[in-house]
Amino acid sequence: MAELDSEKPVYSIGVVQEKTGLTGRQIRYYEESELIKPARTKGNQRIYSQSDIEKLKEIKEMLEKGLNIAGIKEKLGTVNETKKKKKREKSKIGDPLYDGRPLTKFNRGKRGLTSLYPVSDRAQLLEILDKKDNDKDKD
């Protein structure tokens, strides 16, 4: 019988759940946290390699030993990769104040903001927000 390449993605998330004892939500969370990076099918479904499964088992063990996600990233060496990615995103935006967070997080405290339509520039956005705040103060 031919040996399977450990880097070749062949497993669905259901199979990975069975092999690791993790829930689908946990597996997706570890992807969001950039601990794993599964391949995608043409239909955008995640497919995992044996290497991904081994890494997930390792993550599970580290969590059971009390490490948090940041500690696991450091152990697995993904911290530097995450920092590099954020740096690339900042350079793409071209705004030195942009930190990679969506504007919705920035404006979370702004009540009355009813639209997230793009604004052509920051000055226009601030003007709109100030006007909204002033209108509220008059009420």
- Residue 57 tokens read as 């088992």
Q: Is 113 exposed, middle or buried (0-12, 13-18, 19+ CB in 10 A)?
A: middle
- The fold for domain 1-95 equals Multidrug-efflux Transporter Regulator; Chain: A; Domain 2 (1.10.1660)
Query: For the whole prediction, is pTM greater than 0.85?
Result: no
Q: Residue 91 has what pLDDT? A: 59
Return d(Cα 48, Cα 15) in angstroms, integer: 9
The boundaries of every CATH 1.10.1660.10 domain in the chain are: 1-95
Please give the chain's pLDDT, 139 residues, in tens.
455 567 788 899 999 999 999 999 999 999 999 999 999 989 999 999 999 999 999 999 999 999 999 999 888 886 556 666 666 665 555 555 555 555 554 445 555 555 555 555 667 777 887 888 787 777 6
Find how far residue 24's CA is from the centre of its chain: 16
